[in-house]
Amino acid sequence: MKTIFFQNGVYVYSEEEFDFEDDDNKEKTDVSIIVSADYPYGSDSRLLYGGRVEVSLRYDLRCRLTIDGVEIKGFDNKSSNESCAMIYVTDDLTTQKVTAYLNQIEQLGIDTFLENYKTTLENFKADILVLCEKYESLLKEEEPNSGSANTYKDFLDRARACLTILTIILFSLACNMKTGLDNHVYEDAYNEVLAEYDVAND
C-alpha cells in the first residue's frame, strides 16, 4: 500500500499496510489521508488547495502532480553511456518527490513553488541548448552512420523533443500570473462552495 498523509501541517509518505476498510471506511472520511493505493492496481486522486493542485497515485505506477492545469514533469537519464547521457521526460514522479513538493507548496505557497519550477526549467533549457551545440559540433566530426554519430544523433533528437516540451511548459507558466492570494484563501472559497451546494455522491 502507498499512502500520502497530511498530519500536523506536514505531508508524509508511507508504504505500511493500513486496514482502512475495517475502520468505518476511514480511507474516504479521514481528511488526513490525501491519497492511498492498494497493491497491485489501486489508484486514487485528490484535489487540494481549492482545486489548484491535483495529486494522482497508482500503485503500479508512480505519482503525478498537476498545478493550475500544468503537469509537473520529471527529467531523467536512463542511458548507460556516460559520455552521452540521454534525456527522458516523464509525467510520473516518485511518490517521495511529490510528497516533498507538497510540503514546499504548503510552506512556501503555490505561486512561489511555480516560480521556482519555472526558473529551474529555464536554467535546464539553457543547459540543454549548450549540450546541443556541443553534440552538433561532435556529430560533424564523425563518419555518417558510425556508432558515435548515431549516439550523438539520438541525443540530439531526444534533446530537441525535450526542448519542445520545455517551451510549451514555460509558455503555460508565463501565462499563469500571480494573484497574491495565500493557499488558505482558495481552500476557504472551495469549502464554502461545497458547504453551500449539494454535492452528488457517485
**Tens digit of pLDDT per residue, the chain (202 long)?**
889 999 999 999 998 877 665 554 544 456 688 888 877 778 899 999 999 999 999 877 789 999 999 999 988 776 555 555 678 888 889 999 999 999 999 999 999 999 999 999 999 999 999 999 999 999 999 888 888 898 889 889 989 999 999 999 999 999 988 888 888 888 889 888 888 887 666 5
Cα–Cα distance between 176 and 81 in angstroms, integer? 38
Question: How many CA atoms within 13 Å lie on the side-chain side of 170?
Answer: 15
Instruction: Provide the residue range defining the domain that includes 82.
Output: 2-196
**Residue 175 amino acid letter:** C
- Give domain status of residue 176, yes or no: yes
- Give domain status of residue 191, yes or no: yes
- Give domain status of residue 67, yes or no: yes
- Give domain status of residue 202, yes or no: no
Q: How many domains does the chain have?
A: 1
Distances (CA, A) of 189 to 33, 70, 180, 183, 194: 21, 21, 15, 10, 9
- Give domain status of residue 201, yes or no: no
Cα–Cα distance between 33 and 7 in angstroms, integer? 9
Distances (CA, A) of 121 to 127, 165, 200: 10, 10, 40
Residue pLDDT, tens place only, 29-54? 566 888 888 777 788 999 999 999 99
| Preceding amide of 144 cis, omega within 30 | no
- Give domain status of residue 164, yes or no: yes
